Structure 1
Amino acid sequence: MREIKFQAWDLDAEQMYNWESIRQHFHEHLDHPRVKVRQYAGLNDKHGKEYYDGDILRNERGAILEVVFDGGCFYVEGYDPLSKRIVNEPLSSFGSWSEIIGDKYRNPDLLLEATK
């Protein structure tokens, strides 16, 4: 069973908060439109960094993909320029041999570059 953890991105402060900070300071604000809660996927990248929905990863082929939580599952979505195809596959297929290079809140430019 995977560990259940969360992070929260505060759009106003432009800061990511860990689960302990959320529990202590933001428990009454989690349903606020300016706070984006991110769930831990239960998997780590090749450097041991934890995957959360909204993370951006680079796989061994150089494709830049986003971690998405949908329908109770974690997926990666994006475009693979080598195979020239859209990727929409379970995170578990990519997780341990890819690396997190940012997230869609702090590094939205990474996703824009991936579509060029």
Structure 2
Amino acid sequence: MREIKFEVWDPNAERMYKNIGIDKIGHYDDPYGDPIREEEPLIIRQYTGLKDKNGKEIYEGDVVEFDRSVHGINGHREVEFKGGAFGIRPMNQVDEELWWASVWNMNCKVIGNIYEHPHLLEGDEA
């Protein structure tokens, strides 16, 4: 059974809150005691239950880098939840066909996320 964890991105404060608890009515609990603004738009990122090749946890919205071509995919890709599973966001037809190969079958490394580092995906069509 995988561990359920969340991070919350606050675009107004430009801050990522880590290890956040979310109760059944949508209140956020920061274990470090920092106040979290509970108005929209907050973006919830869920832990995939997977780790990269260096043991770093992979969250939805992370940008992963492939060291070499794996299944025809290389470069930087965004991790997303689609069709009941986590995988990489397609950037071209090759990615679309291989989406189900997913990050757990590949040698990848988390290099950032789309919220704090959107530039990581700019111009990456490889």
The answer to whether residue 81 in structure 2 is matched with residue 72 in structure 1 is no
Contact 1:7/1:17, CA 8 A, preserved across alignment: yes
The answer to whether residue 18 in structure 2 is matched with residue 18 in structure 1 is yes
TM-score (norm 2): 0.73
SS at match of 1:13: coil
TM-score (norm 1): 0.79
Distance 1:63 1:78 in 2: 12
SS at match of 2:123: helix
Per the TM alignment, residue 53 of structure 1 is displaced from its structure 2 partner at its CA by 0.3
Per the TM alignment, residue 79 of structure 1 is displaced from its structure 2 partner at its CA by 4.3
Aligned pairs, number = 108
Per the TM alignment, residue 20 of structure 1 is displaced from its structure 2 partner at its CA by 4.0
Per the TM alignment, residue 66 of structure 1 is displaced from its structure 2 partner at its CA by 0.8
Counterpart amino acid of residue 110 in structure 1: L
Residue 58 of structure 1 is matched in structure 2 by 65
Identify unmatched segments of 5+ residues in structure 2: 22-27, 69-73
- When the two chains are superposed, the root-mean-square deviation of aligned CA atoms in Å is 2.3
Distance 1:109 1:115 in 2: 13
Moved over 4 A (4+): none
Question: Which of 1 and 2 has greater Rg?
Answer: 2
Identify unmatched segments of 5+ residues in structure 1: none
Structure richer in helix, relative to its length: 1
Structure 1 pair 41–115 and aligned structure 2 pair: CA distance change class (3 A)? same
Per the TM alignment, residue 23 of structure 1 is displaced from its structure 2 partner at its CA by 1.2
Once the two structures are aligned, what percentage of the paired residues are identical?
Answer: 35
65-74 or 51-60, which deviates more: 65-74
Distance 2:63 2:41 in 1: 21
Residue 117 of structure 2 is matched in structure 1 by 107
